[in-house]
């Protein structure tokens, strides 16, 4: 196993394979033409989310999970056992530490990325270049520039890239968005999203040696090296800007994707953010209380995140509402309900949720060549709202954007946060 990650070495390895990628691409294109072709999956990042995705993929007809990958070899081994058990032996994945094994395997059709946020963009770009279709968890990217490159990579290599915003595939949610857009609650100019939780303190980390079961260099990947500390893994990385995007990127993306979809908007004109880390004095860099506003000129979105108070709007810890001049529609799990202007409930529709229907859509699109429900272009636009909200928070001032492409206008401090530094040789390129 290669311990030191080097993108140029990876490219040389691929080149040395001669016609390997061409053969792989031909096989994948054939799979898109033949619905009976078995889809071979490699999953990267074996926390609870990655293991759940691997188990669900393994349960789909004509799909095999060949690899489960994690820099923590214990987590990879545990996930392999779980997938084999849940699939009753139809998938017996090999546990590996280095995701490049997935890219090098010409039989693998698709890469699933459930690793940390700093891997989402680089992993997707490398996956597309290696001829793999990609299912990547939310948020689409660690920073705005990566999102732009992900869209470019998907189009250049003609790959299906689906974001893990699974509500885009839920029938009840699709019906709700149609109701909003067809005028069921009148003219809609405003939408609100929110997320609430009861997260505790992450404390103060101490310098330490990484656990023996963890390849920490591999875990950091394209991110510049930072010394290991005791309160980073396996979840608290979310709350450090070096690897994560805070609650806005962690859960806000789900709400903002629906707000943007329902209002039919793409890029905002102005973005503001208020809030901070108030509840605990610890190492967390990202806010535990945040309110972000997005002004699209003629329509408006707000998102509120409170990580230390579980009580949300509409008696829900997570939600999205749309407000029209004839009433309100609130997404309720996999369904929705509509209230008139007097607060009377006039419609309530239930709907299924979960991951299965969204993962099946990804598999179907690999076979058909169609764009998936949460195509990476949609995913980038929605994730960009999270990035802009965090940039407004970190700079402490209003962000002005070009409504044609979402890029920041005349703001040097904010523009510095559009991208990031990378480990030498690992700058994502298309």
- What integer pLDDT is reported at residue 23 of this predicted model? 36
Q: State the CB neighbour count (10 A cutoff) for residue 19.
A: 10
Q: For 130-208, where are the alpha helices, taking DSSP H only?
A: 144-156, 171-182
pLDDT beyond 60 at 27: no
- What integer pLDDT is reported at residue 89 of this predicted model? 85
**What's the alpha-carbon Rg for the chain, to the nearest Å?**
21
Q: How far apart are CA 217 and CA 401, in angstroms?
A: 36
pTM score, two decimals? Answer: 0.91
Dihedral of CA atoms 49, 54, 55, 60 in degrees, nearest 10, equals 130
| Residue extents of the structural domains in the chain | 7-166, 168-373+378-415
pLDDT beyond 50 at 348: yes
Q: Which of 212, 218, 5 shows the shortest CA–CA distance to 97?
A: 218
- What integer pLDDT is reported at residue 25 of this predicted model? 40
Q: How far apart are CA 139 and CA 34, in angstroms?
A: 31
Q: Which range, of 9-13, 222-226, 248-252, 294-298, averages the lowest pLDDT?
A: 9-13
pLDDT beyond 90 at 403: yes
- What integer pLDDT is reported at residue 37 of this predicted model? 82
7-166 and 168-373+378-415 share one CATH topology? no
Q: State the CB neighbour count (10 A cutoff) for residue 229.
A: 16
Q: How far apart are CA 170 and CA 166, in angstroms?
A: 7
pLDDT beyond 60 at 124: yes
The number of angstroms, rounded, from the C-alpha of 194 to the middle of its chain's C-alpha atoms is: 17
Both structure tokens of 121 = 């963009």
Q: How many residues does the chain have?
A: 430
Quick one: pLDDT band at residue 90, thresholds 50, 70, 90? confident
Strand ranges inside 63-179, DSSP E? 63-69, 94-96, 110-113, 133-136, 161-163
Q: How far apart are CA 173 and CA 179, in angstroms?
A: 10
Quick one: pLDDT band at residue 301, thresholds 50, 70, 90? very high
In the numeric block, the tokens 């280095």 are attached to 98
- What integer pLDDT is reported at residue 171 of this predicted model? 97
pLDDT beyond 90 at 337: yes
**Superfamily grouping for domain 168-373+378-415:** Dihydrodipicolinate Reductase; domain 2 (3.30.360.10)
Q: Calculate the average pLDDT of the chain.
A: 92
Q: How far apart are CA 163 and CA 150, in angstroms?
A: 11
7-166 CATH: 3.40.50.720
- What integer pLDDT is reported at residue 332 of this predicted model? 84
pLDDT beyond 80 at 161: yes
Cβ neighbours for 371, distance < 8 A, ≥ 6 positions apart: 160, 365
- What integer pLDDT is reported at residue 15 of this predicted model? 38
pLDDT beyond 50 at 306: yes
pLDDT (mean) for 315-343: 96
179-220 tens-digit pLDDT: 999 999 999 999 999 999 999 999 999 999 999 999 999 999
pLDDT beyond 80 at 22: no
């Amino acid at each position: 196993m290669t311990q030191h990650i080097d993108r140029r070495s990876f490219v040389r390895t691929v080149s040395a394979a001669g016609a390997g990628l061409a053969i792989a691409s031909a096989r994948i294109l054939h799979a898109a033409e033949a619905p009976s072709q078995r889809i071979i999956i490699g999953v990267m990042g074996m926390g609870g989310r990655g293991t759940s995705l691997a188990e669900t993929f393994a349960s789909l007809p004509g799909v095999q999970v060949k690899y489960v990958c994690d820099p923590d070899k214990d987590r990879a081994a545990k996930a392999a056992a779980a997938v084999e058990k849940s699939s009753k032996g139809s998938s017996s994945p090999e546990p590996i530490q280095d995701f490049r094994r997935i890219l090098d395997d010409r039989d693998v059709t698709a890469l699933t990325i459930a690793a940390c946020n700093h891997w989402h963009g680089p992993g997707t770009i490398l996956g597309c270049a290696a001829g793999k279709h990609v299912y990547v968890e939310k948020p689409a990217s660690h920073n705005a520039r990566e999102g732009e490159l992900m869209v470019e990579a998907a189009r250049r290599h003609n790959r299906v890239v689906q974001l893990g915003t699974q509500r885009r595939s839920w029938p009840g949610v699709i019906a709700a968005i149609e109701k909003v857009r067809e005028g069921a609650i009148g003219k809609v100019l405003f939408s609100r999203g929110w997320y609430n939780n009861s997260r505790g303190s992450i404390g103060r980390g101490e310098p330490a040696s990484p656990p023996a079961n963890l390849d920490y260099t591999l875990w950091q990947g394209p991110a510049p090296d930072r010394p290991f500390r005791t309160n980073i893994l396996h979840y608290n990385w979310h709350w450090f800007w070096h690897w994560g995007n805070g609650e806005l990127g962690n859960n806000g993306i789900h709400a903002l994707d629906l707000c943007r979809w329902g209002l039919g908007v793409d890029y905002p004109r102005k973005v503001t953010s208020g809030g901070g880390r108030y509840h605990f004095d610890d190492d967390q860099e990202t806010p535990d209380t945040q309110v972000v506003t997005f002004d699209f000129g003629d329509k408006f979105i707000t998102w509120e995140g409170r990580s230390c108070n579980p009580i949300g709007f509409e008696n829900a810890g997570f939600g999205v509402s749309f407000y029209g001049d004839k009433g309100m529609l609130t997404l309720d799990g996999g369904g929705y309900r509509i209230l008139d202007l007097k607060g009377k409930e006039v419609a309530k529709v239930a709907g299924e949720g979960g991951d299965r229907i969204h993962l099946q859509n990804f598999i179907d699109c690999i076979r058909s060549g169609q764009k998936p429900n949460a195509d990476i272009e949609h995913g980038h636009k929605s994730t960009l709202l999270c990035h802009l909200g965090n940039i407004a928070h970190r700079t402490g001032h209003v962000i002005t954007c070009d409504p044609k492409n979402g890029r920041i206008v005349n703001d040097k401090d904010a523009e510095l946060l559009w991208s990031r530094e990378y480990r030498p040789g690992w700058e994502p390129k298309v």
